[in-house]
Amino acid sequence: MNRKLNKSVNDRVLFGVCGGIADFFGITPLPVRIIFLLTLGGSFWVYVVLSYILDDAPTL
């Protein structure tokens, strides 16, 4: 299976990074958002970088 990590276009709060990660792993975005909030010190920069690197998910 050829899956690609993209930002979510449907489930976004800021840029859709957490929603895209959740879509990639087939889970709801709430646990991903909680992990990002609990590790805010280090994950802030990861989130910022991913928001610029990842493409938006293709729309149908």
Instruction: Quick: pLDDT tens for 5-60.
Output: 899 888 888 899 999 999 999 999 999 999 999 998 888 899 999 999 988 887 76
Chain centroid offset of residue 19 CA: 4
CA–CA distances in Å: residue 16 to residues 1, 52: 23, 11
For residue 16, give the 3-state DSSP assignment. coil
What's the pLDDT at 18?
Answer: 92
For residue 43, give the 3-state DSSP assignment. helix
pTM above 0.95, yes or no: no
16: alpha, beta or left? (left if phi > 0; alpha if psi -120 to 50): left
